[in-house]
Structure 1
Amino acid sequence: MVTNNIIKRCGWVGKDEIYKKYHDEEWGKPVYDDNILFEFLILEGFQAGLSWITILKKRENFRKSFDNFDYKKIASYSQQKLNDLLLDEGIVRNKLKIQSVVVNAQKYIEIQMEFGSFCNYIWSFVNGNPIINKWSNIKEVPASTELSDKISKDLKKRGFKFVGTTIIYAFLQAVGIVNDHITDCFCSIS
């Protein structure tokens, strides 16, 4: 929504241009590409305990350091590569999170083999139809839901790491499986 030449966005966006660009161009827009889905799954895991703006500001570094999120390459990272990542100041240097990327890449490939693609798997939880919420205030937006609980539980059962329900809900929002743009946001779907 635009009022008096002021674009109305969701309340979490703030003034940072990186946030505005991410909100306007990506957040809540349906993603069906397995490469992009993997990137968001990994970035959301790295975000745990940090602010999303921290991750967005390091996103290009993450892409460079993790071979553009090529999960096939990542699945076979050596211990030396993991050691190098721990020294990489351009990313979040958390040993468990870095190790989880390799495990998650391996499990991601297993899901692709079972379902044909990760896209088929993740979108099956909503029968291919995004959930479009109609929140009037950012305070109404939950941190997790029954859906994120269900997906988190299934991913954990499959061996994924850093896929708790809050992380998964943020992932679902990021890739447009759930659209949580508030009703007066210009990105809101009427």
Structure 2
Amino acid sequence: MVEWHIAARGVTDERVLAAMASVPRELFLLKSVAADAYADSPLPIGHGQTISQPYIVALTAEAARLSPGDRVLDVGTGSGYAAAVYAATGADVWSVEFVPALAEQARAALDAAGFGAVRVVTGDGTLGLADQAPFDAILAAAAGPEIPRPWIDQLVEGGRIVMPLERRPGWQQLVRATRRGDDLEIDDLGGVRFVPLRGEHGLS
């Protein structure tokens, strides 16, 4: 999977590639789709949500320029897979999930995969996690209409937000926003398709 679907498509960060190779994706999937664990595609995880395709997880991690010890907020825990990959790069990860049942499911999967140090919180991820801020990176697995103001306020100088923005209905763009003082430096990373970001600053 790492060689064919990730490195071959341009992801070069060795730390990210090693992290992707080390996380057992099948532990984060429903048994009914576990046979497809290493296909480069999103898969259902219940509650109307999906686990992101491996390439997108790797692209997000690389775009975030993660380094060991970085404080990372993962918004939209889902299955917990992306949080595990970020933790495998050496980052210190907090993850927020809107759906309580998914949060519990993710905690169990993270423990089973050896990533029990990831803190999973149930709540509105669009509000960030003020009591743990500031963060070096905030990474979202759901599309919003704009970058939530609380995330910007909870980001260190030079910190990175990587998230999909819904520019218009049915059209999403993955972006990296780097904090430069009171401004954000925006880089477009390509078209994507994510579930809607839920919460006060989301789409639903």
Q: Which has the higher contact order (CA 8 A, sep 6+)?
A: 1
Please give the TM-score of this superposition, normalised by the length of structure 2: 0.28
Larger helix proportion, structure 1 or 2?
1
In terms of fraction of residues, the more strand-rich structure is 2
Which entry has the higher C-alpha Rg, 1 or 2?
Answer: 1
TM-score w.r.t. the length of structure 1 is: 0.29
